[in-house]
Amino acid sequence: MINIHTKVDNDCGQCVQPLTVMPDPLEHATGLERRELMALESGNDDPFNMKVLKKADGTRNNPTLVPSCFDARIVGCICEEHSTVINWLWVHKDHPRRCECGHWYKLIEKPFI
């Protein structure tokens, strides 16, 4: 059995020298990519809030909270369970927004990674 960290000479089929192992990607990453990798490493599997949110009650007093690092964010609402259409709407900071189906959304501040 050949160790994956060894190099094989194709002419004689023998191991000639050990291969160098690539360093951890975190050592080469910079900027936003580095912050993303650090967030993933610390247990935050969704640092950019790209996963689908579960709807809350959706009333004016208890809207679905949408996290954002910015003053506005676009939200897609699937109004009915088996709908094939997504209703897109902009939600702005300090201005809860109502979808056509009557569901309410509110933007909450999230720190930038």
Q: How far, in Å, CA of 40 to CA of 86, rounded?
A: 29
**CA 75/CA 56 separation, integer angstroms:** 14
**pLDDT at position 53 over 70:** yes
0.85 cut: is pTM over it?
no
pLDDT bin (cut points 50, 70, 90) of residue 16 is low
Render the burial of 74-109: b for 16+ CB within 10 Å, e for the rest. Answer: ebebbeeeeeeeeeeeebeeeebbebeeebbbbbee
Q: What is the pLDDT of residue 112?
A: 77
The owner of tokens 């088996």 is 82
